[in-house]
Structure 1
């Protein structure tokens, strides 16, 4: 395939924080949006790995991050009951939110948070997210006042992920600002041009861990869905469409496991069983 030669070298301009990130010196909040009606995996937050629901796995990871507050945001009483059973604080939200970010915006409004406060969106289907990554996005947003969103990515090193529409790809500029996110293969390498690109281009997978300023969440919830967001089913495209700058950095350590499909769930259960067996 034409794009295989583009994997050889990571672009030098993409910054990566070292793993030394271990704390955040300012207050931030974690909100975990969780909905029951997943299209590909219904009831996903309540599915279990090692007799523990996905939402509990995510919450326990959040508890290691030193956040001022942790909230689970849901519109489903089953998720609420499960979350409260393991001690989580739950905020019930409207049932008609288009995206998890819209749900975050409602929670920020309910809590009456200040515009400059930082919220980390920890996805309810991303288990085992290291605290270092949460600190990374929170610190990046705090360090870049000209941005109101920060997120992370990691290098793709296999052909399957490049072609998989469930793996969101991202491209960015020399200042670590995202240019576009897509389920398609981006960048596309023209036939015959791959040798010219091999020393300066790689493929990157977006990791759905975000930090937001509350002021942006207010804007987001008041902005209509754009055609790009609707086409790709990627809510971050609403931000790019309206001119928001998204700060992007390569992850300082391996991400958690995203559970989007039955295959993902099977793989996560296998990995958990392997780790618990000590082999």
Structure 2
């Protein structure tokens, strides 16, 4: 089975310009993402970027990268552009967030394994149990509800389901909530189709791209992880990541 990992990476970021090139303990963020992904079962790991600086940086340390259009509205579109440029075939494509320097190889493997099934999914993503009240009510951590086959029914920035019979401070005691981890897997034929879809009403309302796919009838299978990830969007997140690295080194 051939699984290709593609990491969309833009230079422009409102809160943290040049984010992929930010130094994290002697390595750039994008280099750390690549290093983690290369420890997984992926056959190939490629950066998809719209910026020559990122392209040359990745090529400079021996990574693989392609230059994509600067006009793509989403990382999904950038992944499809890169895959077409690779001029190869794969059983699945894994979209790895370029601002997750501590993504664990086992999380990537969990998605790839879903595509090894006799009937591989159209799309796949990761979910994680919600552990705290702060997580549950944070609009920055989308939640997801599943059907009995572990396909996503809906994603929301609001906790779902709404427990009418319980006060909100007791919701975690009475229901197992799941949050979404933004790692995606696609069948190549499905990726080609979803990049042709127009934004949908639910997607616009929640500002969650995956709702476009659900609204157009695509199914998203989920795998579950217990591992936490540390996404980096702000200078404060960089400080948090450096603290995490320091703790890792102390533990070794």
Say which of 64, 80, 93 aligns to 2:39: 64
1:169 matched to 2:138? The reply is no
How do 1:133-144 residues align onto structure 2 when only pairs under 5 Å count?
Answer: 133-143=107-117
Is the 2:33–2:102 contact (alpha carbons within 8 Å) kept by the matching residues of 1? yes
CA deviation profile, 1:49-79 (whole Å, cap 9, x unmatched): 1121110100111111132221100001111
Please state how far the C-alpha of 1:162 moved relative to its aligned partner.
Answer: 1.3
Unaligned ranges ≥5, structure 2: none
Matched residue, 1:15: none
The whole-number CA distance in structure 2 between the counterparts of 1:178 and 1:113 is 30
Say which of 236, 242, 252 aligns to 1:269: 242
Is the 1:149–1:211 contact (alpha carbons within 8 Å) kept by the matching residues of 2? yes
Q: Please identify runs of 4+ aligned residues in structure 1 that moved more than 6 A.
A: 193-200
Is the 2:133–2:172 contact (alpha carbons within 8 Å) kept by the matching residues of 1? no
SS in 2 for 1:123: coil
Matched residue, 1:86: 61
Return 118-127 or 262-271, whichever deviates more: 262-271
Say which of 229, 234, 254 aligns to 2:227: 254
Please state how far the C-alpha of 1:108 moved relative to its aligned partner.
Answer: 2.0
Question: Greater relative contact order (Cα 8 A, min sep 6): structure 1 or 2?
Answer: 1
Is the 1:141–1:247 contact (alpha carbons within 8 Å) kept by the matching residues of 2? no
How do 1:214-253 residues align onto structure 2 when only pairs under 5 Å count?
Answer: 214-251=188-225, 253=226
In the superposition, relative to structure 1, how do residues 195 and 83 fare at CA in structure 2: closer, same or farther (>3 Å)? closer
Number of aligned residue pairs: 252
The whole-number CA distance in structure 2 between the counterparts of 1:75 and 1:276 is 33
The whole-number CA distance in structure 2 between the counterparts of 1:160 and 1:239 is 28
Unaligned ranges ≥5, structure 1: 1-25
Please state how far the C-alpha of 1:195 moved relative to its aligned partner.
Answer: 11
SS in 1 for 2:116: helix
Return 176-185 or 138-147, whichever deviates more: 138-147
Is the 1:74–1:92 contact (alpha carbons within 8 Å) kept by the matching residues of 2? yes
The whole-number CA distance in structure 2 between the counterparts of 1:145 and 1:255 is 29
CA deviation profile, 1:195-221 (whole Å, cap 9, x unmatched): 998776211111111111000110011
In the superposition, relative to structure 1, how do residues 247 and 84 fare at CA in structure 2: closer, same or farther (>3 Å)? same
CA deviation profile, 1:104-134 (whole Å, cap 9, x unmatched): 11122222444x6211111101112222111
Please state how far the C-alpha of 1:82 moved relative to its aligned partner.
Answer: 1.5
- TM-score, structure 1 as length reference: 0.83
Return 58-67 or 186-195, whichever deviates more: 186-195
- Over aligned residue pairs, what C-alpha RMSD do you find? 2.3
How do 1:123-134 residues align onto structure 2 when only pairs under 5 Å count?
Answer: 123-134=97-108
The whole-number CA distance in structure 1 between the counterparts of 2:168 and 2:41 is 45
In the superposition, relative to structure 1, how do residues 257 and 194 fare at CA in structure 2: closer, same or farther (>3 Å)? closer
SS in 2 for 1:90: strand
SS in 2 for 1:36: coil
In the superposition, relative to structure 1, how do residues 61 and 86 fare at CA in structure 2: closer, same or farther (>3 Å)? same
Matched residue, 1:11: none
In the superposition, relative to structure 1, how do residues 132 and 196 fare at CA in structure 2: closer, same or farther (>3 Å)? closer
